[in-house]
């Protein structure tokens, strides 16, 4: 069987080419969701940098809060029209009956693949060097299917849903990503020793897809052993493909090893739309102290916006932005508290803008 092509994937990961994009390129509309807490602060940072670069994008802003019952229809319509969205963090209430708008959006738009790139940045002290891991997570089913009910008072049943269709789809995406990016290995993360049917089906699907990519090394690892290996020898991992819940845990662990969630970019992509946001959990989205001091780290969302620019086929703008961010991090004069500094968000943004040229 021929390999399935992923046009949106190839846009997302397109490397710089000899083609030159200037400010005369046709501007693209991008749906912007500032989000909760520090979200407006870091999305404003992106807007400032885009304006300074004269990047050929403009934003259609929509106010969405994590405590809403659902995402407004006009927001979904905007994303479907523009095909691309940049999003700040949305705070999900813990417990109660309010469902996560993040999960709602992924299901509504069928954003089936989460991509989180966890890598060490020169000049940023970390416990391990040369970490370069891409976590590709199935985004639409598993424990996040939201199928929970109370059987009798005091007994709650939560269903984990794994399908062959979604498992094959995410495995194909991971191997295609590895192939196009010249990555050498894909590791499937599972718990099939206990969940023999559900995770067994996921593994079976990964093995079938792996057989079509003989040039890429394929490995499997049980999720608990994976966590231990990540914190002890992260350099052994390259591309990792996971079911939904495991991917969330693995991505956050890898991000912590590589420098923290404040510097890790990410995106959620489907066949037709892509939403770019901080790669690992935006744990500081509701941190009132950070918000009051205006010291949220804008780097993760800035690097996510570089992914967005590359996806929109503006690679030279993406390269300029990434180079400026790396320069500021390596120089070390302007960093927020989470990465060893005491700078404000605006000070970091000003430094990045100054480093653009």
pLDDT per residue over 199-210, tens digit each?
Answer: 999 999 999 999
Which of the residue ranges 140-144, 180-184, 345-349 would you say has the lowest mean pLDDT? 140-144
Tell me how far apart the alpha carbons of residues 162 and 270 are, in angstroms, rounded to a whole number: 18
Which two tokens mark 157?
A: 């049943």
Tell me how far apart the alpha carbons of residues 248 and 271 are, in angstroms, rounded to a whole number: 21
Q: Average pLDDT in the 268-272 region?
A: 94
In this predicted structure, the answer to whether residue 93 has a pLDDT above a threshold of 80 is: no
Q: Between 306 and 4, where is the model more confident? A: 306
Q: Between 7 and 146, where is the model more confident? A: 146
Which two tokens mark 311?
A: 């996806």
Nearest-CA neighbor of 168 among 208, 134, 140, 197? Answer: 208
In this predicted structure, the answer to whether residue 115 has a pLDDT above a threshold of 60 is: yes
Tell me how far apart the alpha carbons of residues 347 and 51 are, in angstroms, rounded to a whole number: 17
Q: Average pLDDT in the 180-207 region?
A: 97
In this predicted structure, the answer to whether residue 16 has a pLDDT above a threshold of 50 is: no
The per-residue pLDDT for 92 is: 77
Q: Between 285 and 151, where is the model more confident? A: 151
Q: Average pLDDT in the 115-139 region?
A: 93
Cβ atoms 118, 279 nearer than 8 A? yes
In this predicted structure, the answer to whether residue 19 has a pLDDT above a threshold of 50 is: no
Report the mean per-residue pLDDT for the chain. Answer: 89
186 has which bridge partners? Answer: 218, 239
Which of the residue ranges 20-34, 152-166, 273-287 would you say has the lowest mean pLDDT? 20-34
Q: How confident is the model at residue 282 (pLDDT cuts 50, 70, 90)?
A: low
Q: Between 290 and 309, where is the model more confident? A: 309
In this predicted structure, the answer to whether residue 18 has a pLDDT above a threshold of 60 is: no
Q: Average pLDDT in the 169-173 region?
A: 97
The per-residue pLDDT for 14 is: 47
Q: Average pLDDT in the 265-286 region?
A: 84
Specify the DSSP class assigned to residue 321.
H
Cβ neighbours around 103 below 10 Å, total: 16
Cβ atoms 67, 98 nearer than 8 A? yes
Tell me how far apart the alpha carbons of residues 30 and 274 are, in angstroms, rounded to a whole number: 10
The string of DSSP codes covering 202-214 is HHHHHHHHHTT-T
The per-residue pLDDT for 8 is: 54
The per-residue pLDDT for 60 is: 97
Tell me how far apart the alpha carbons of residues 327 and 39 are, in angstroms, rounded to a whole number: 24
According to DSSP, the β-strands at 113-119 and 132-138 are antiparallel
pTM for the predicted model, two decimal places: 0.90
Q: Average pLDDT in the 119-136 region?
A: 93
The per-residue pLDDT for 284 is: 60
The per-residue pLDDT for 5 is: 42
Nearest-CA neighbor of 270 among 133, 102, 114? Answer: 114
The per-residue pLDDT for 289 is: 82
Q: Average pLDDT in the 229-241 region?
A: 96
Which two tokens mark 145?
A: 């299917």
Q: Between 217 and 3, where is the model more confident? A: 217
Nearest-CA neighbor of 283 among 251, 261, 253? Answer: 261
Q: How confident is the model at residue 213 (pLDDT cuts 50, 70, 90)?
A: very high
Residue 32 to residues 4, 19, 114, 140, 216, Cα–Cα distance (Å) = 31, 27, 19, 22, 37
Q: Average pLDDT in the 202-230 region?
A: 97
The per-residue pLDDT for 74 is: 96
Would you report the helix, strand and coil content of the chain in percent, each value rounded to 5?
40, 20, 40
């Amino acid at each position: 069987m021929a390999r399935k092509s992923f046009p949106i994937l190839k846009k997302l990961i397109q490397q710089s080419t000899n083609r030159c994009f200037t400010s005369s390129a046709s501007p693209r509309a991008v749906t912007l969701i500032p989000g909760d807490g520090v979200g407006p602060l870091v999305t404003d940072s992106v807007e400032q940098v885009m304006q300074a670069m004269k990047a050929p994008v403009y934003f259609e802003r929509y106010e969405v809060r994590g405590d809403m019952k659902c995402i407004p229809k006009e927001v979904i319509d905007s994303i479907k029209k523009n095909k691309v969205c940049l999003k700040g963090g949305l705070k999900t209430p813990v417990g109660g009956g309010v469902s996560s708008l993040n999960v709602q959006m992924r299901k509504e738009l069928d954003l089936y693949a989460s991509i989180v790139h966890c890598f060490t940045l020169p000049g940023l002290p970390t416990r391990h060097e040369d970490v370069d891991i891409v976590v590709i997570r199935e985004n639409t089913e598993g424990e996040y299917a939201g199928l929970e009910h109370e059987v009798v008072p005091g007994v709650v049943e939560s269903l984990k849903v794994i399908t062959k269709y979604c498992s094959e789809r995410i495995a194909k995406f991971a191997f295609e990503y590895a192939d196009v990016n010249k990555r050498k290995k894909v590791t499937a993360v599972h718990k099939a020793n206990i969940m023999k049917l559900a995770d067994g089906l996921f593994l079976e699907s990964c093995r079938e897809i792996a057989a079509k990519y003989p040039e890429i090394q394929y490995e499997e690892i049980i999720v608990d052993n994976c966590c231990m290996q990540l914190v002890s020898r992260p350099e052994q991992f390259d591309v990792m493909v996971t079911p939904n819940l495991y991917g969330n845990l693995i991505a956050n662990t890898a991000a912590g090893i590589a420098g923290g969630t404040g510097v890790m970019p990410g995106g959620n992509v489907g066949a037709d739309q892509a939403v770019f946001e901080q790669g690992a959990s935006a744990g500081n989205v509701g941190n009132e102290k950070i918000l009051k001091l205006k010291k949220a780290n804008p780097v993760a969302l800035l690097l996510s916006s570089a992914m967005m620019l590359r996806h929109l086929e503006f690679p030279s703008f993406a390269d300029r932005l990434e180079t400026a961010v790396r320069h500021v991090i390596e120089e070390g004069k302007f960093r927020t508290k989470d990465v060893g500094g005491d700078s404000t968000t605006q000070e970091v943004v000003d430094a990045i803008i100054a480093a653009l040229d």
